[in-house]
């Protein structure tokens, strides 16, 4: 009854959803593309033994890459259907998985989900990280499609939200065939919500191999920048850039180049303007010109080049951590040997942050002035950067293997393997 009531709300909310998408499209026109997919009117095709993987946006889509590689080694004839919720996630999926069907996930109406599952005829559904959609899970299980929650993480903040809708979420969680949690803390929180026997498999993010072409591009960036020290602030969120720019200006003129790479492409122009308004000499990556000697702030307004920016950096700050966003992926800069700075908010990567700090691969700061002070201190200390570089490489190597463990779990569900 509760599931039917929940599903009935989606058509009633459709006008509001359409208004929201049109509002987002003012800054990111891609939100208007593939419109019918979001409302269950355009459906995927069946393609033999098809593994369906749902990864909501960019981070989850990238994290799935080593897992997909491990699954393809076991099931070389299987096809891949990958669903998203955001245009940036969809674009990254098309880049990383060129032979897959890439599709928006319909909103979680039971009727729409049943049509989607019937059309795709997947062999199984893998939900990446924290994608708990009750109607989707019920539609799959009613159709005999196994559902696994993999690379699963659940912060205490998210768990508190789910506890408010336990009567809706618990039946969905109890219908999962298997759960592969990133950490013991994630497993405990999932179990408390009703998930049956979650297994701790680690995070696939440690298994991601930095793309050789992006590392080469990073070397080209560095050559274009010249001999100056480079501080990259990556995946920054709304409000963080202003704090960083104000603290950077307060520190006085610096020989280092500040590189700002906003998390969301619709904010590229805004961030460039923030820097210009504060009197900095600004360039944008999209200008396609070498970085001028007088340029103080370079805005990384490009998609799919995050590893290139990290490869060009002497020190990196991982955004989403200075304000209360829970942080973005700190494993990526550590994996290319870049010293990592983190703000106080790291609940989305709580275990990875704690392990990186313990290993000496990262430092944590309380606010923007301390962030700038720590960055300048590291930029001036070659030996400290080298110690953090070695610690970062060792930290990422030590925690690899989750993708193979999850692939083994998937095989156990699919064919008893």
Which residues participate in catalysis according to the annotation? 60
**Count of beta carbons in the 10 Å neighbourhood of residue 322:** 28
Query: In angstroms, rounded to a whole number, what is the distance separating the alpha carbons of residues 185 and 175?
Result: 21
Query: In angstroms, rounded to a whole number, what is the distance separating the alpha carbons of residues 287 and 290?
Result: 9
Burial 379-409 (b: 16+ CB within 10 A, else e): beeeebbeebbebbbebbeebbebbbbbbeb
The helix (run of H) or strand (run of E) holding residue 8 is helix 2-25
Expressed in angstroms, the distance from the first to the final Cα of the chain is 37
Helix, strand, coil percentages in the chain from 3-state DSSP, rounded to 5: 50, 15, 35
Q: Which two tokens stand for residue 322?
A: 């200075």
Rg (CA), the chain: 22
Q: Do β-strands 79-84 and 50-54 pair in parallel, antiparallel, or remain unpaired?
A: parallel
**Count of beta carbons in the 10 Å neighbourhood of residue 273:** 12
Query: In angstroms, rounded to a whole number, what is the distance separating the alpha carbons of residues 218 and 337?
Result: 13
Q: Do β-strands 230-236 and 257-262 pair in parallel, antiparallel, or remain unpaired?
A: parallel
Q: Crossing angle for the helix pair 184-193 and 156-163, nearest 10 degrees?
A: 0
Query: In angstroms, rounded to a whole number, what is the distance separating the alpha carbons of residues 313 and 225?
Result: 11
Contact in structure between 122 and 145 (CB atoms under 8 Å): yes
**Count of beta carbons in the 10 Å neighbourhood of residue 306:** 23
Query: In angstroms, rounded to a whole number, what is the distance separating the alpha carbons of residues 332 and 341?
Result: 12
Task: For residue 147, give every residue at least 6 positions away whose Cβ sits within 8 Å of its Cβ, in sequence order, or none.
Answer: 124, 125, 127, 137, 140, 141, 175, 176, 177
Query: In angstroms, rounded to a whole number, what is the distance separating the alpha carbons of residues 389 and 415?
Result: 42
Contact in structure between 389 and 339 (CB atoms under 8 Å): yes
């Amino acid at each position: 009854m509760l599931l039917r009531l929940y599903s009935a709300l989606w058509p009633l909310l459709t006008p509001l959803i359409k208004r929201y998408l049109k509002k987002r499209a003012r800054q990111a026109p891609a939100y208007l593309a593939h419109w019918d997919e979001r409302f269950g009117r355009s459906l995927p095709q069946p393609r033999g033994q098809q593994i369906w993987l749902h990864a909501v946006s960019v981070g989850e889509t990238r994290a799935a890459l080593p897992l997909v590689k491990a699954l393809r080694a076991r099931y070389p004839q299987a096809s891949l259907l990958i669903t998203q919720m955001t245009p940036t996630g969809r674009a990254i999926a098309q880049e990383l998985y060129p032979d897959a069907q890439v599709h928006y996930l319909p909103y979680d109406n039971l009727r729409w989900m049943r049509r989607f599952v019937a059309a795709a005829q997947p062999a199984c559904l893998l939900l990446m990280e924290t994608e708990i959609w009750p109607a989707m899970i019920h539609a799959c299980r009613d159709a005999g499609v196994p559902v696994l929650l993999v690379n699963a993480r659940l912060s205490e903040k998210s768990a508190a939200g789910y506890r408010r809708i336990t009567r809706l979420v618990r039946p969905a969680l109890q219908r999962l065939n298997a759960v592969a949690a990133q950490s013991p803390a994630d497993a405990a929180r999932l179990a408390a919500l009703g998930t049956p026997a979650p297994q701790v498999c680690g995070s696939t993010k440690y298994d991601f191999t930095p793309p050789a072409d992006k590392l080469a591009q990073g070397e080209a960036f560095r050559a274009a920048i010249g001999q100056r020290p480079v501080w990259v602030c990556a995946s920054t969120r709304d409000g963080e850039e202003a704090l960083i720019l104000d603290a950077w200006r307060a520190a006085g003129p610096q020989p280092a180049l500040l590189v700002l790479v906003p998390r969301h492409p619709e904010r590229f122009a805004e961030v460039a303007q923030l820097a210009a308004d504060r009197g900095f000499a600004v360039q944008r990556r999209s200008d396609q010109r070498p970085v001028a000697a007088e340029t103080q702030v370079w805005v990384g307004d490009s998609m799919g080049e995050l590893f290139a920016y990290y490869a060009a950096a002497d020190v990196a700050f991982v955004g989403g951590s200075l304000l209360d966003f829970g942080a973005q992926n700190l494993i990526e800069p550590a994996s290319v040997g870049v010293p990592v700075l983190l703000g106080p908010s790291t609940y989305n990567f709580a275990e990875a942050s704690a392990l990186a700090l313990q290993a000496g691969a990262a430092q944590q700061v309380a606010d923007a002035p301390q962030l700038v002070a720590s960055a300048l201190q590291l930029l001036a200390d070659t030996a400290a950067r080298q110690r953090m570089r070695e610690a970062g490489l060792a930290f990422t190597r030590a925690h690899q293997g989750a993708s193979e463990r999850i692939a083994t779990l998937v095989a156990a569900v699919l064919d008893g393997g």
